Chain A
Amino acid sequence: MQLQPVHPPVVLRRLVGALLLLWLVLTITFALIRLAPGDAATFLVPPSATAADVARIRDELGLDRSIVVQYAHWALALLRGDLGESFSLHQPVSRALAQALPVSIGLGAASLALTFLVGVPIGMIQAVRRGRIADQLLTVLTTVVYAAPSFWLALALVAVFTYGAAAWGLPPGVRLPAFGLRSPGSDLHGTAAMFDLIRHAILPITILSAVGAAGVARYARSSIADVLSQDFVRTARAKGASPRRVYFRHVLATVLPALVVLFALSLPGLVAGSIFVEAVFAWPGMGRLMVNAIVARDYPVVMGAAAVYAALVLLANLAGDLVLPLVDPRRRA
């Protein structure tokens, strides 16, 4: 199979379109959060502060100027690549994002890989064994997990693998930590620190992957089942192709483009979905940064986080568009 690259002008046009859309998203977000009653100043002052104190802080943060002026300031700074200074964290927004983003991306990427590595084979087994006992059991399992909120699953797993494992005297290898990225007060280096991180990551990644894999398996099952009932599959079988060849060369190749698009579109959802898992496991990722910033009316951080999320979505869409012709010859213009 010869891979043909997409035309550069097409890529450029999509990129420009994506940037315009990003700008529109950020402007809408800017308008939305400024419509909210109450602003950062009221959250930053001590309870004993006078109205004059609040006014002074509002002046310092530039919140007393008109919304149009504030928008212009923010937009010009953004064009220079400056996301501003966080109101509540006392550090540049870019630094706060740079600390939080790797946590969420790591969590999201590991879960995304597992989601498809587990979900697609499950869907394939179900489609091949359609109506049999294996399919029925897996259907029940995936549909139930698909209906479960991740924060509830997280609590259930913490109850079993953190508290339960300790109470039942299980070996330490099965006891999994329920909070944070690393053991508090530990002074680990090298491989020991790595193992510590992995132990902390097992529960969050398991939950995000399980919920994702259930959805992917449902999708894969129905699309593979559709393909299996088509004439070209019957023809391939009639011509004596082995089941392995039929499933991988004919069936999987047909559903692959749809799965690739699903893969690209899943990344932003996964990173956003980690909000709940981060909340339960106290992981210092994008979700926690964003929720805390919204509650504190920390506008620059909310805008910065929204920009990152929107950029992720647009990049994922773009990546899906660009990769599609590589896996689907019909999409090569």
Chain B
Amino acid sequence: MISLPAMRKTSALAAIVLVVLAAGVILVPLISAQDPLRIGDVLALRLLPPWSRDSLGHFHLLGTDRFGRDLFVRMMLAGRISLAVGIIGSALASLVGTVAGALAAWMGGAVDRGLMALADALLALPRLVLLLVCAALWAPGLATVVVVLVVTGWMGVARLVRAELLGVKTLPYVDAATALGASSQRVLWRHALPNALGPAIVATTLGVGNAILLESGLSFLGLGIQPPRPSWGNMIAGGRDLIVVAPWVAIAPGLALIATVLACTLLGDAMRDRIAGESGGSLRDRV
């Protein structure tokens, strides 16, 4: 563990990065004069280097891509999608996992065995493989990516919540609530579950960065967000064969991706040290 003030400093920095980024991805496409999707005079505008002004007088902070679209505005628009997919995907997966874990722990018996067998079976495929198989199910796009992240991501949280609940179930205050006449449902949702959510909250926070990486990976392979709608993954894919001529096209979205995932990881780490107090942690998927 780093000393507490140092840790507060890093997590404060991570929070600032995320807030600035969130403001940027919301505001920049709104106020920018440039349309990040419109393709104009390709020959005159394409692949302008960063910090340059084009013949129309527009300033391009990060240059332009192969179709002459402003890279900075596109990157911010892509950030909207990547951040939204990461947060929604991770949060929904945790929600499904929490409900599944709670049902398994509380009802026991066949429900418990069935849900845990399903979780074990889905965990027996590496998440990337399961993700690819599921991504082929529907037409690639925003909704598909979120659904696939939820389908492949609920098992870890379900196990965490189940294990915590089984521990909480034996505590005296649960007995007390039951003795006072609270229904089994009320005891679960009002008394037991809120006290079993700590590890799940940490897992969700750490899961945001992972989900953003998975989305970028799917989009890089062409199975996620589809152009012309930008995402950091498909922007990197688009800059792949320009890496010699115009390296900034692939470098800029990659740096944005790293900064975002880094900030999410640091926040998750800080939260884990505060809430769970456990050592180590799970490894992210190797996107």
With both beta carbons as reference points, the residue of chain A lying nearest to B240 in the complex is identified as A155
Q: Which residues of B contact A150 (CB under 8 A)?
A: 286-287
Interface segment out of the listed B38-46, B68-76, B120-128, B176-184: B120-128
Let me know if A24 is at the binding interface, CB within 8 A.
Answer: yes
Given contacts A36-B136, A295-B136, contact A25 B124 (CB under 8 A): yes
Choose among B1, B139, B243, B247 the residue with the greatest number of A CB atoms under 10 Å from its CB: B243
Interface residues of B in 209-237 (CB under 8 A from A): 209, 213, 216-217, 220-221, 223, 233, 236
Contact A294 B132 (CB under 8 A): yes
Let me know if A118 is at the binding interface, CB within 8 A.
Answer: no
Among B125, B135, B223, B259, which residue has its beta carbon within 8 angstroms of that of A306? B125
Among A226, A258, A279, A294, which residue has its beta carbon within 8 angstroms of that of B133? A294
Contact B280 A28 (CB under 8 A): no
Contact B283 A29 (CB under 8 A): no
B interface: dominant SS = helix
Interface residues of A in 90-146 (CB under 8 A from B): 130-131, 139, 143-144, 146
Contact A152 B138 (CB under 8 A): no
Contact A225 B126 (CB under 8 A): no
Bound-state CA distance A309–B123 (Å) is 11
Contact A147 B265 (CB under 8 A): yes
Among B137, B221, B247, B285, which residue has its beta carbon within 8 angstroms of that of A269? B285
Interface residues of A in 262-306 (CB under 8 A from B): 262, 266, 268-273, 275-276, 279-280, 290-291, 294-295, 297, 302, 305-306
Q: Mark A189-226, 1 if CB is under 8 A from B, else 0.
A: 00000000000000000001001100110110011011
Given contacts A131-B3, A150-B287, A223-B280, contact A309 B254 (CB under 8 A): no
Size bin of chain A's contact surface:
35 or more
Given contacts A291-B132, A294-B133, A313-B124, contact A146 B216 (CB under 8 A): no
Contact B133 A155 (CB under 8 A): no
A interface: dominant SS = helix
Q: Mark A151-162, 1 if CB is under 8 A from B, else 0.
A: 110011011000
Let me know if B110 is at the binding interface, CB within 8 A.
Answer: no
Contact B133 A306 (CB under 8 A): yes
Let me know if A333 is at the binding interface, CB within 8 A.
Answer: no
Given contacts A24-B117, A268-B126, A275-B128, contact A143 B136 (CB under 8 A): no
Let me know if A69 is at the binding interface, CB within 8 A.
Answer: no
Q: Which residues of A contact B284 (CB under 8 A)?
A: 146, 215
Bound-state CA distance A32–B148 (Å) is 12
Let me know if A260 is at the binding interface, CB within 8 A.
Answer: no
Interface residues of B in 244-276 (CB under 8 A from A): 244, 247, 250-251, 254, 257-259, 261-262, 265-266
Interface residues of A in 156-181 (CB under 8 A from B): 156, 158-159, 163, 167
Contact A147 B261 (CB under 8 A): yes
Let me know if A310 is at the binding interface, CB within 8 A.
Answer: yes
Given contacts A22-B124, A159-B244, contact A269 B258 (CB under 8 A): no
Contact B262 A270 (CB under 8 A): no
Q: Which residues of B contact A215 (CB under 8 A)?
A: 283-284
Let me know if A35 is at the binding interface, CB within 8 A.
Answer: yes
Q: Mark A244-271, 1 if CB is under 8 A from B, else 0.
A: 0000000000000010001000101111
Interface residues of B in 159-218 (CB under 8 A from A): 209, 213, 216-217
- Min CB distance, A273 to chain B, in Å? 3
B residues with a Cβ closer than 8 A to A are: 1-3, 6, 117, 120-129, 132-139, 209, 213, 216-217, 220-221, 223, 233, 236, 239-240, 243-244, 247, 250-251, 254, 257-259, 261-262, 265-266, 279-281, 283-287
A residues with a Cβ closer than 8 A to B are: 21-22, 24-25, 28-29, 32-33, 35-37, 130-131, 139, 143-144, 146-152, 155-156, 158-159, 163, 167, 208, 211-212, 215-216, 218-219, 222-223, 225-226, 258, 262, 266, 268-273, 275-276, 279-280, 290-291, 294-295, 297, 302, 305-306, 309-310, 313-314
